[in-house]
Amino acid sequence: MLPLEDGLACDDGNACTEEDRCTAGVCEGSATDVVVSDTKSSAIPDGSWDPRRDRCERSGKALEIALPVSAPGSVASVEVDLDFEHTYVTELDVRLRHEASGREAVLFHFEDEPAYDEDADADGVYTFTDSTQVPFGPPQGDDDIEPGAYAPREPLAIFAGAPVAGTWRLVAVDTCEGDRGRIRGVTLRIRRSCE
């Protein structure tokens, strides 16, 4: 049997690799992340206010954005890029859900967190990743949350080991009336394992 020539296409038998090529007599592929996006801009339905009790009464209807994935393998890690704006971000409850596994993680929710300025604004792309410890919220004395990378309120590691395939869903709820916002897009990046 003759050794394979470097650079020839081959199949390493791993469904999670692409562009398998022979290198030094070994068939190897490059692992690929699964990236799925929804760039349709959608308003987040407003909640309601009770003027008699001077407090928020009911949350608005949940805005749900479905992100269907059909790739093989299991989840090693997940990151979410969320492009959104809201003039009172502490009214929001935003979660990522994987329907096939029933697993869910809260990206941000500010109830019972008095350290944050209630009037904080958000406008830009925010990345939620377990690779940072920076909490999502405005710095002390600032009304704006700068775009950047933030830790989710609940670790995205909850999805580790779940199947990559299935419908992933971003769920956003506005818990009060008055200030409004919209999601301009969401991108889900899944690093997968096929072992």
Number of other CB atoms surrounding residue 82 within 10 Å: 26
Q: How sure is the predictor about 27, in pLDDT bands with cuts at 50, 70 and 90?
A: confident
pLDDT digits 0-9 by tens, 126-157: 999 999 999 998 766 667 899 999 999 999 99
Q: What is the DSSP string of 78-118?
A: EEEEEEEEESSGGGEEEEEEETTTTEEEEEEE-TT-TTS-T
Q: Regarding predicted confidence, which is higher, 29 or 134?
A: 134
Report the pLDDT averaged over residues 100-125: 80
Q: Regarding predicted confidence, which is higher, 58 or 43?
A: 43
Report the pLDDT averaged over residues 78-106: 94
**Is 20 in a helix, a strand, or coil?**
strand
Report the pLDDT averaged over residues 41-58: 74
Domain boundaries, the chain: 1-32, 33-193
Q: How sure is the predictor about 50, in pLDDT bands with cuts at 50, 70 and 90?
A: low
Tokens matching residue 28: 């190897």
What integer pLDDT is reported at residue 33 of this predicted model?
86
Number of other CB atoms surrounding residue 114 within 10 Å: 7
pLDDT digits 0-9 by tens, 161-189: 999 999 999 999 988 767 778 999 999 99
Please report the sign of the dihedral spanned by the C-alpha atoms of residue 52, residue 55, residue 57, residue 63: positive
What integer pLDDT is reported at residue 46 of this predicted model?
80
Instruction: Provide CATH code, domain 33-193.
Output: 2.60.120.260
Does residue 11 have a pLDDT over 80?
no
pTM of the model: 0.81
